[in-house]
Amino acid sequence: MTEKSYPATEAQRQTDDWNPMWDMMEEMDPDYLEAFLNFRSVPQKQGPLPQKYKELIFIAINAATTHLWAPGVRRHMQNALREGATKEEILEVLQLTSIMGIHSMALAMPILAEELEKQGD
């Protein structure tokens, strides 16, 4: 029986962009990990955005409250600076990304007000 090849997984493993969680994914379902890595590489390999803007978007994704992946933030900041981004541009990306956290308050405050009203407070 021929052993299956996973070129996207092996290529990704050779970069400094390997998430340790992918080791578990690879063990449990190597086909899924290979498909995922191929999917996520599409906008990196093609598309009209200059690399600097892709890196700024990657900073936002990695710094977002739903992701919080510090190694990715660091790596993409380094890449963005190498691609010509300024510290002011990176700071603005972080400021814009931090707005996501306010949604917790926007969701919860009306609920709190309703519950306090029910309590008579």
Cβ atoms 50, 80 nearer than 8 A: no
* Number of alpha carbons in the 13 Å side-chain half-sphere of residue 44: 10
Give the total number of structural domains in the chain: 2
Lowest mean pLDDT among 18-22, 51-55, 85-89: 18-22
DSSP output for 76-87: HHHHHHHTT--H
Assess whether 56 and 1 both reside in one domain: no
Cα angle: 30, vertex 54, 78; to 5 degrees = 90
Q: What's 73's domain CATH number?
A: 1.20.1290
Please give the model's pTM, rounded to 2 decimal places.
Answer: 0.78
Average pLDDT value for residue range 89-117: 88
Q: Is pLDDT above 80 for 104?
A: no
Q: Is pLDDT above 90 for 107?
A: no
Assess whether 55 and 43 both reside in one domain: no
Q: Is pLDDT above 80 for 111?
A: yes
Query: Residue 121 has what pLDDT?
Result: 67
Domain of residue 79, residue span: 48-121
Secondary structure tally for the chain: helices H, strands E: 7, 0
pLDDT digits (tens, 9 = 90+) for 17-27: 888 889 999 99
Query: Residue 1 has what pLDDT?
Result: 64
- Report the candidate in 43, 21, 44, 45 with the shortest Cα–Cα distance to residue 33: 21
Assess whether 2 and 60 both reside in one domain: no
Cβ atoms 44, 11 nearer than 8 A: no
Query: Residue 109 has what pLDDT?
Result: 84
Assess whether 40 and 60 both reside in one domain: no
